[in-house]
Structures are given as C-alpha cells and as structure tokens.
Amino acid sequence: MSYLYLVGLLLSAACMLLIDRRFRLFFFRDPRVAAVVTVVGLVFFLLWDFAGIGLGIFLVGHSAYMTGIMLAPEMPLEEPVFLAFLSLCTMILYTGAVKLLDSRAGQGSA
C-alpha cells in the first residue's frame, strides 16, 4: 500500500492554496463562497463519477502508487481528493485569469 498519489494530490492542493493566498484569488478572497463552490463542484463530479461507474464506463485502475482503499465499488480514496483538487485548481485558474484580464483592461483604458 502506497500513499504516493494521495500525498501528491494533497501537496499539489497546498501549492495551489499558496498561489491563492499570494494573489487572493479564491479561498483567500471569499472563504465561504469558495467553500460552497468547491463542495458543489465536488458533488457534481462525484455524481458524474457514480453515473459513469454505474454505466460501466469508469473503472478503477490499480496502481502501486495508490492506497488501495476503496470508498465504494470502483471509487478509490484518491478519487474525491482528486475531484476536490480539480475544482480548486479550476477556480484558482479562472479567478486568476479574470483578475489578469481585468488588470490589463484597466491599463489599456488609462
């Protein structure tokens, strides 16, 4: 049993939160809204995963880097962590892009 993938996901999320903290993009801009958006994204992607699992489309891949802990059939522990990271990463990239474009638009009109 290896925790390498799980640790990698958590470290990646921590790095994204450091970027968020530095530029106040998502959680460090409005923690309550960010938490709601992240949970809604996580629930959406989990429902998507369960639909794919039910249809036989999504199957767990066995890897020496995963814990092997299963939360449900075809749902490893790492999957919801990855989906939360995906939501977090997407929102930080989105809010960062909006902030960058807004600052460039402000410079162009000055």
Write out 65-90 in H/E/C secondary structure: CCCCCEEECCEECHHHHHHHHHHHHH
Report the pLDDT averaged over residues 3-27: 97
pLDDT digits (tens, 9 = 90+) for 64-103: 999 999 999 999 999 999 999 999 999 999 999 999 999 9
Residue 84 CA to residue 82 CA, distance in Å, equals 5
Domain residues for the domain of 51 are 4-99
Q: Examine residue 70 and state whether it is found in any structural domain, yes or no.
A: yes
Q: How many domains does the chain have?
A: 1
Q: Examine residue 66 and state whether it is found in any structural domain, yes or no.
A: yes
Q: Examine residue 11 and state whether it is found in any structural domain, yes or no.
A: yes
> Which pTM value belongs to this model?
0.90
pLDDT at residue 110 tops 70 = no
Residue 79 CA to residue 86 CA, distance in Å, equals 10
pLDDT at residue 36 tops 60 = yes
Length of the chain: 110
16 phi/psi in degrees, rounded to 5: -65, -35
pLDDT of residue 109: 64
Angle at 92 between CA 90 and CA 74, to 5 degrees: 35
